[in-house]
Structure 1
Amino acid sequence: MTDLPTVIGIAGATGLVTGIGALPVFVRAHVSHRTYDAALGLAAGLMIAASVFGLILPGTEEGSLEAVLAGLLVGGFGLLAGNRLIPHLHARYRGWRAEGGATRADVAGMAGSGRVGEGGPGEDPSREDDASDNDATATADATLRRALLVGGAITLHNAPEGLAIGVAFASGLEEVALVLAIVIGLQNVPDGFAFAIPMAETGISNLRVLAYTALSGTVPQVLAAAVGFSLVSLSTGLFPAAAGFAAGAMLTVVFREMIPSSHGHGHADAATAAFLGGFVLLIVVDAVVVA
């Protein structure tokens, strides 16, 4: 059976691939909304196929259907609860959306507006130093809050993928785990693209966008893979429920975030075509790896 350091290495490599999706920010003036929606559709197709063929079906083969379905419902509703309870900011094409207690001010901050401490022409000079200190503190607090809000969304989105990799490897299903790792890596490219485009609109440098995007996939996926591997290693009987849990969370991400975000902008056909392409791509990858 694959050991934990190997699982962490594979999950880390899979997460780092997310950074490839950030490369278009270097020519982001040419990135169209159609391309953005199609990227989300492709990622959605890959994730749904991976959930079904890489988690649900192997889970039913290794254990009972009831255990898989129970895990699926817990994972799906658990992620919905997390969306409600955890304040976070979802990346959108050239913008952000607040959820779970995040505010409009947080969204405005991501766009670079709403700066604190812009004094008027009649401001008292004797208070300038105190105001500067207060402004610096407020700016640091706002920056930390925005980082936590974005980090919350990234964790909710990417952790189920790392969990799926760790669970599959811990169950001794190396072929299934390898397919999942490859597919999640493929899915991470358009996923990183969807994260990087609105991040680039905040005005930070392209290199920092690239670094943040790569880390957004790597950190939560490595941590979740380690947790999934460690838990299932204690008892292989946990695999069906754990596989269902990861699948349920991934399916919820797709229907809750990716599909709605890729529609409503006049490019639904492009998003749907990319979705079908992603689904078929998973089947091809699965056939090649297993063969």
Structure 2
Amino acid sequence: MTTLVSVLSVTTVAGLATGLGALPVFFRARVTHRVYDAALGLAAGLMVAASVFGLVIPGMEEGTLRAVMAGVLLGGGALLGGNYLIPHLHAEYREWFAEGGATADDAAVMEPPAEDSLVEPDEGTEGSGAAGEGPTDEEKGILAERESSLRKALLIGGAITLHNAPEGLAIGVAFASGLNEVALLLAVVIGLQNVPDGFAFAVPMAETGMSNLRVVWYTTLSGVVPQVVASVFGYSLVGLGSGLFPLSSGFAAGAMLAVVFRELIPSSHGHGHADAATGAFLVGFVLLVVVDAVVVV
């Protein structure tokens, strides 16, 4: 019988793989937009295949089609609802886009500060405040708001939770239902997917001027924390009733699919590298099938 300790251990290992994706920040000059888009495509292919083969099909084998499809709709709806209600910053390569109530100032704080942003105006030149007096009280207030580390943490944490929680939920649900092979398959796939996912998170984070070591540390936490918490929730949820797996598996699958089509695919297209992203998507999908066959055998 699978214990909660086993669930925590497996999910933690899968989450730690996110940190591997941040290692290229040490060579950030070599990171190209094509590589970034391809990484997102690879992650999308893995997640789509995992949703179908690791969650939807096993859910239908354990329960009814109606229950699984209801779960898919509920999971997708919950992700979209959270995306609308939870203020967060959505990263696209070296840019940040505010969503869910986040503002343009919130996105601006993630950009590296300009070297001359606080140059004092010379006497006789136009500028804010009198010559030599520095920024006005209003400008100081804006700068203080932009430098709020708590605000940054909340906004980034909202995006991380929306993206990674469904994956941890899927592992916990599978383990709680006694489908250990399915759970291990999901853990392997999610671990593989977390590498490009971590890369996608680390690149814009590194552009804020944060040190490389901190980027790697925060990127690793971004995979471990929400996935572990969600896995415990999923494990506990199914434990409340043996018949909840079909609905829960559908819910996790729907949330993961919503992440793919709401975030990963749009972020990997429109920059002139759609072919690279599409090719990587297919590679990710095929890789899941291969891993599935190895785990089952």
Query: For the Cα contact (< 8 Å) 1:105–1:114, is it kept in 2?
Result: no
Identify the match of residue 242 of structure 2 among 232, 236, 247.
236
1:176 matches 2:182:
yes
Q: In structure 2, what is the equivalent of residue 97 of structure 1?
A: 97
Q: Is the 8 A contact 1:108 1:114 kept in 2?
A: no
User: Which structure: greater helix fraction?
Assistant: 1
Take 2:240 and 2:143, find their aligned partners in 1: how far apart are those partners? 48
Q: In 2, distance between residues paired with 1:134 and 1:118?
A: 14
Q: CA deviation at 1:118?
A: 4.8
Aligned residue in 2 for 1:70: 70
Name the counterpart of 1:9. 9
- The corresponding residue for 2:212 is 206
Q: CA deviation at 1:258?
A: 0.4
Look up the SS of the partner of 1:265 in the other structure.
coil
Q: Distance in 2 between matches of 1:251 and 1:166?
A: 18
Gaps in structure 2 of 5+ consecutive residues: 122-129
Q: Percent identity?
A: 69
Q: CA RMSD in A?
A: 2.3
TM-aligned CA deviation for residue 136 of structure 1 = 9.0
Q: Which amino acid in 2 is paired with 1:44? A: A
Q: Which of residues 167, 170, 175 in structure 1 aligns to 2:173?
A: 167
**Relative to structure 1, is the Cα distance of residues 163 and 113 closer, same or farther in structure 2, using a 3 angstrom cutoff?**
same
Show the counterpart of 1:36. Answer: 36
TM-score, normalised to structure 1, is: 0.93
Cα deviation, 1:189-224, whole Å, max 9, x if unaligned, reads 000000001111111110000001000000000000
Change in 2 beyond 3 A, CA 1:237/1:94: same
Query: What is the aligned partner in structure 1 of residue 25 from structure 2?
Result: 25
Partner of 2:287: 281
Shift of 1:120: 4.6
For residues 134 and 77 of structure 1, what CA distance do their matches in structure 2 show? Answer: 38
Q: Could you tell me which of 147, 151, 159 is aligned with 1:153?
A: 159
Secondary structure of 2:271's counterpart equals coil
Q: Provide the rounded CA distance (Å) in 2 between the counterparts of 1:64 and 1:100.
A: 34
Q: 1:134 to 1:124 in 2, by over 3 A?
A: farther
Matched residue count: 287
**Are positions 1:190 and 2:196 aligned together?**
yes
Aligned partner of residue 70 in structure 1, secondary structure:
helix
Contact 1:94 1:201 survives alignment (8 Å):
yes
CA contact (8 A) 2:63 2:246 kept: yes
Provide closer, same or farther for how the CA distance between residues 282 and 235 of structure 1 changes in structure 2, counting only shifts above 3 A.
same
Question: Please, what TM-score do these two structures have when normalized by structure 2?
Answer: 0.91
